[in-house]
Chains A and B, each alone.
Chain A
Amino acid sequence: MILTAEANGFLSPNGVEIVFLLVGVVTLGAAVITVTTRQLVHAALWLVVALGGLAVEYLLLTAEFIAWVQVLIYVGSVVVLLLFGLMLTRAPIGRSPDADSENRWVALAVALAAAATLVTVVADAFRSTWIDLDRSVQGSPEVTGESLFRHWVLPFEALSVLLLAALVGAITLSRRRGADDAPASPKQER
């Protein structure tokens, strides 16, 4: 299943590896356009391309369960909700010149730092291990579920607490100050 890289040279890639790299380039490009474009709704649509590209990468690694969950949750719900929020507030057609928080350089620095950390951690964690995609399915629901609920239960639960905290935080932030004594309208609570 997991072999070392010695048997697999980096200089003679097979078809899946080439496709993997190409899709990766597309995903990265879409992600960059997402944060640089001045058209709000187009940014959300480029985000769809980036997340869809990630799903294709999962499929190429035979993790079809994760891939379809990615499409269902991120493409199908998160970005749709994002579009929903955009359209409820304002969704101008064309450029929106005020869509610039003027934190461009700070954002770039944070993004580069995060990318550098992730790349070093992942590269260090896996080093020269090699996944053989032909021999056995690595990403079937059984395998994923077993490793998730047997070996990674604690991080999984911690993540759900994190999501809950984010939810509570969003509600707290969106409630106006001084609204505590007055009963909140049901729409705000929802």
Chain B
Amino acid sequence: MIVSAAEDLSVFGTDPWWLVCVKAVFVFAFLMVFVLVSIVMERKVVAWMQRRVGPNRHGPWGLLQSLADGVKLMLKEDLIVKGSDKVVFLLAPVVAAIPAFMAFAVIPFGPADHQISIFGERTTMQLTDLPVGILYILATASVGIYGIVLAGWSSNSPYPLLGGLRSTAQMISYEIAMGLSFAAVFIYSGSMSTSEIVNSQDERWFAVLLPVSFIVYIIAMVGETNRAPFDLPEAEGELVGGFNTEYSSIKFAMFMLAEYVNMVTVSAVATTLFLGGWRAPWPISGVWEGANHGWWPMLWFTLKLQLLIFLFIWLRGTLPRMRYDQFMKLGWKVLIPVSMVWLLLVATVRALRNDGYDFQEITLYVAGGVFAVLLVSLLVDYLREKGDKEEEAARSLAPQEQFDPMAGGFPVPPLPGQTLPPVPRRKPRSERQLVPAAAESLNDTVSVDNTAVKETDGA
């Protein structure tokens, strides 16, 4: 069924120069329009999810809202922080924005066999393709981190620095899970070029064949783009605005642009790798022969992209922000081990198939392996839980460490093992008004400590 076809990328790189320019401009315009549309869509959809109206002042149904936003941002005062590292401060937004656009060069909008003609020139619906296309996408994405890190550092201000630090740790940890989920796709497609990967999803999408990789990638892509519920670098409750606190005007707009372009890019990668790229979804491709020819593939591609953007918005509208340690735990202790075991499984199945074992034998081996792993993990979990409980018991027996809420002269949260002193609680109003005399006897049932009692006594 799945035979890795010999790579033939000779159809790429034959376009005349003007066609290359046209395609590059098209990709740029596509991304910009997509970003403008998704900003309006995000605000509208989130508003509907919260039972609000959303933007409705600019254009019909508020459709021109993002244009208004853009113009407003450009007319704002362009601040440059005095104590900043000026060169890096100016460079950071540019470094954030450019790689976001670059990755889209290898995304296929349509089949690679000269289906369409532009001004009489038969050509492919893809700017270019590389034998290592996905590696190129990963590399550009990792360069994009610099924009955020340097923005945080060069602002010379603590909150942006913390935001920059968070985003660095976040992107590096989630890139590993992302790369591992890609590796499973490479094993099945036998190629790292995007057009070949779409070609090898002829019969079924990789999302169906490799569901674990798909789920890991979806989680990792949300983490990689710093979007809710993983938008810790710009957690406004903790870090003011995060890495972009000190930025204003067009530089701030560049960061926003980079974020949304990144969203579109990772969605396009998800579409290409797991959702069949430009291929028509199943019922349509079954009944309509021409669905995968001519200009139609671009429609399916855009639709899938739009659905993934909707997924991003849906997540943002639904989920609260994660705590930072939970987020790191998810990345390092769940996603990476799961995708490693899964990659091992996929590689084993592939190797068995290459050696000519038939399906039943493979199922047997795989089922056996899965059960063994599950058993071991359950056992380990059980033992560890027991150990944890014993530790917990030992800790509760041990004398409590005294917690000083003003240690070092400023308020600090309790460390592990320390407990907060009980917070003085005021009694419910009804009890205070109705039975003031019974305050003493209620002390046992309602958690009231001395200060509260004094308060009621005085009142």
Contacts and interface: CB of A to CB of B under 8 A. Distances in A.
A54 interface: no
Interface stretch (A24-32, A64-72, A165-173): A64-72
Given A48-B146, A76-B145, A65 B172 contact: no
A43 B150 CA distance: 13
Contacts of B207: none
A75 B143 contact: yes
A186 to B, nearest CB: 10
A65 B135 contact: yes
Q: Is the interface of B mostly helix, strand, loop or mixed?
A: helix
A81 B161 CA distance: 15
Interface string B301-343: 0000000000000000000000000000000100000000000
B168 A84 contact: yes
A141 B138 contact: no
B142 interface: yes
A149 to B, nearest CB: 14
Interface string B159-186: 0010011001101100100000000000
Contacts of A42: 88
Contacts of B139: 68, 71-72, 75-76
Q: Is the interface of A mostly helix, strand, loop or mixed?
A: helix
Interface size class for chain B?
20 to 34
Contact of B192 (A48, A80, A141): A141
A71 B146 CA distance: 13
B54 interface: no
Contacts of A69: 135
Contact of A68 (B83, B132, B165): B132
A40 B432 CA distance: 63
A81 B175 CA distance: 13
With a 10 A CB-CB cut-off, give which of B83, B88, B135, B150 has the most chain A CB atoms.
B135
Interface in B101-154: 130-132, 135-136, 138-139, 141-143, 145-146, 149-150, 152-154
Contacts of A88: 165
B130 A64 contact: yes
Nearest to A65: B132
B15 interface: no
Contacts of B171: 80
B147 to A, nearest CB: 12
Contacts of A83: 149, 153, 168
Interface string A51-85: 00000000000001100110110011100110110
A72 B146 contact: no
Interface of A: 41-42, 45, 48, 64-65, 68-69, 71-72, 75-77, 80-81, 83-84, 87-88, 91, 93-94, 140-141, 190
Given A41-B85, A80-B168, A80-B172, 8 more contacts: A64-B130, A76-B141, A77-B175, A80-B146, A83-B149, A84-B149, A93-B153, A93-B156
30 contacts: A41-B153, A42-B88, A48-B146, A64-B131, A64-B132, A65-B132, A68-B135, A68-B136, A68-B139, A72-B139, A75-B139, A76-B138, A76-B139, A77-B175, A80-B142, A80-B145, A80-B146, A80-B172, A83-B149, A83-B153, A84-B149, A84-B168, A87-B161, A87-B165, A93-B84, A93-B85, A93-B153, A93-B154, A93-B156, A94-B85
